Structure 1
């Protein structure tokens, strides 16, 4: 699923080889097994008719990158590192359910705010995140293969334990 969905979030100018390299280096099955077992992460899935159609991953803790740390609030205690649904489920309740469950998971862990990085050219994703309460907080650089991309850093404050 990661190999299918990650390229959808990439800008049109990104070489397919760079997207493929990122998937091979960061989104392979062994890496996901480690993510699922890690105590500092939550990996969530959304299913439709028994089939997984999307996933998200929260990474708990303060950001390490200086550009992100400078952009987010002191409350930012988790990164929404991944949030993808298959293209045929864009704009459906599955995407909304996934986001809701993800924010609730962060709230249950006591996180005050969640941040994410989204490519500056990915307007569809930016609209989705704004619809779910995220606001632009700054910018960061993000390496995809050999390509250095510019992301917006967005943040959402959580209210209560339910997010």
Structure 2
């Protein structure tokens, strides 16, 4: 598996993988209208292209033999300032893997990259949101030293999902 920075020509494939991963994992939770609205706002080629071009974002892709296996997005800014403990806080926006490739170490490689990128940026805290009923993801983040710091919410169309804000002080055990 190879990690590389996303380029603009990756936008369509990243949008497709993001939408597919979200639908496979969470699609059953939403009405078709809410799911459609969310995907049209969050997982489009234009939105991903804008993120790749944004100097405040870092987008890393994982691939093998030219096949996209996953990606990770970092926003080099604080997503939840009311809950920040650090002075230079960043947000891990998405860490998605192809549902058919789960369990192959893709998430581990992308998380290792995210932590290295955060350190290189000088971040002292990383925040992320995780669905309250996603214990597998919560366990994954806890293995990296992230802890729940707040209850938050996430909108999918008109549906409000209960989420947890997890955070890690960079350099903390």
Deviation at 1:10, TM superposition (A): 2.9
Q: Match of 1:42?
A: 58
Moved more, 25-34 or 124-133: 124-133
Query: Which stretches in structure 2 are left out of the alignment for 5+ residues?
Result: 1-16
Deviation at 1:29, TM superposition (A): 0.4
Alignment of 1:18-57 (within 5 A): 18-57=34-73
SS for the counterpart of 1:155 is strand
CA distance 1:12–1:123, change in 2 (3 Å): farther
Which aligned segments of 4 or more residues in structure 1 are displaced greater than 2 angstroms?
A: 7-17, 68-72
- TM-score, normalised to structure 1, is 0.87
Which of 121, 134, 137 is the aligned partner of 1:109? 121
Higher relative contact order (CA closer than 8 Å, sequence separation 6+): 1
Structure holding more helix per residue? 2
SS for the counterpart of 1:73 is coil
Equivalent pair of 1:10/1:19 in contact (CA under 8 Å): no
Equivalent pair of 1:138/1:154 in contact (CA under 8 Å): yes
- TM-score, normalised to structure 2, is 0.82
The total of aligned residue pairs comes to: 156
